[in-house]
Amino acid sequence: MTQHRKILIFSLALICCLIWTTPASAADPGKPYHFGFKKSRDGKLPSIAQEGFMGVLQKNEAVFLGNTNRKELYLTFDNGYENGYTAKILDVLRDHKVPAVFFVTGHFVKDQPDLLKRMAKEGHLIGNHSWSHPDLSQVNETRIKEELEKVRLEVTPLTGQQQMKFLRPPRGIFSDRMLRVSHQLGYTSVFWSIAYKDWDIKHQKGAAFAYQNVMNQLHPGAVILLHSVSSDNAQALGTIIEDARKKGYVFKRLDQLQSKTYR
């Protein structure tokens, strides 16, 4: 075998080795991931260990779970548009003295400025859900920044909230690049450890359905995702809060989450 051929074979082997050993997030920072998790059942903690993106979330300091040694809960709502139930949800939160974070889109900001003002006045956080709800894993860095900055610039004069700290990627789709760019802008990306199919307004199943779906997944350190368009959520929220408290849980604002647990 000639020396030239030996060098060629060695070079090809080295390239193959690098391809197989380089983490996906490093090789392709634009690779999209759809957030998913193993649900909590019978007190067992939820997990993202089998989903293949734990390292990407850790690297970019994203949140999906709080301190699992404390019976603390974090309520989060996605507000893409208004369906007539957000005021009711705010009434329940006010009456039960429970804080939440509302992730809003540009459509909601322009359409519901009074609700935004009320959220801030009553002590809730306003989070960024992007201006036009695109798949942020599929757009360039400039577009990511524009999507987030538009929301911030519109929300600030309405609420006085100078710095938006939290981001929920639309539809739970993300990439290493998307998380990195938003983190550089000062955002913590927030996913969830309790959720159910509540966003389909044509298939609402009643308060008992919402109640069971949330309570069956309850666990310490839970970040709960609810959609404010759901009539089921609006009806069940008060009972969920009351019965969670009976089990010893405390509701806290997301900016009080002190530790990030990955499982």
* The two structure tokens encoding residue 144: 């990511």
115: number of Cβ within 10 Å? 20
Same domain for 243 and 154, yes or no, is yes
Amino acid 30: pLDDT: 83
| SS3 labels along the chain | CCHHHHHHHHHHHHHHHHHHHCCHHHHCCCCCEECCCECCCCCCCCECCCCCCHHHHHHCCCECECCCCCCEEEEEEEECCCCCCHHHHHHHHHHHCCCEEEEECHHHHHHCHHHHHHHHHCCCEEEECCCCCCCHHHCCHHHHHHHHHHHHHHHHHHHCCCCCCEECCHHHEECHHHHHHHHHCCCEEECCCECCCCCCCCCCCCHHHHHHHHHCCCCCCEEEEEECCCHHHHHHHHHHHHHHHHCCCEECCHHHCCCCCCC
**Among candidate residues 206, 217, 225, the one with its CA nearest the CA of residue 244:** 217
* The two structure tokens encoding residue 84: 């007539």
Residue 66 domain flag? yes
Same domain for 162 and 42, yes or no, is yes
Same domain for 236 and 109, yes or no, is yes
**Look-up of token digits 């690779």:** 31
pLDDT in tens, 54-106: 999 999 999 999 999 999 999 999 999 999 999 999 999 999 999 999 999 99
Same domain for 167 and 230, yes or no, is yes
Residue 261 domain flag? no
Q: Total structural domains in the chain?
A: 2
pLDDT in tens, 107-159: 999 999 999 999 999 999 999 999 999 999 999 999 999 999 999 999 999 99
pLDDT in tens, 26-57: 458 889 999 999 999 887 899 999 999 999 99
Check if the beta carbon of residue 63 is closer than 8 Å to that of residue 263: no
Residue 252 domain flag? yes
Work out the mean pLDDT of the chain and round it to a whole number. 90
Same domain for 231 and 206, yes or no, is yes
* Catalytic sites, residue numbers: 78, 227
Residue 2 pLDDT class (50, 70, 90 cuts) = low
pTM for this one? 0.88
Same domain for 18 and 40, yes or no, is no
Amino acid 11: pLDDT: 41
> Where in the sequence is the domain holding 66, given as residue range(s)?
33-256
Amino acid 6: pLDDT: 41
Same domain for 57 and 120, yes or no, is yes
Same domain for 170 and 99, yes or no, is yes
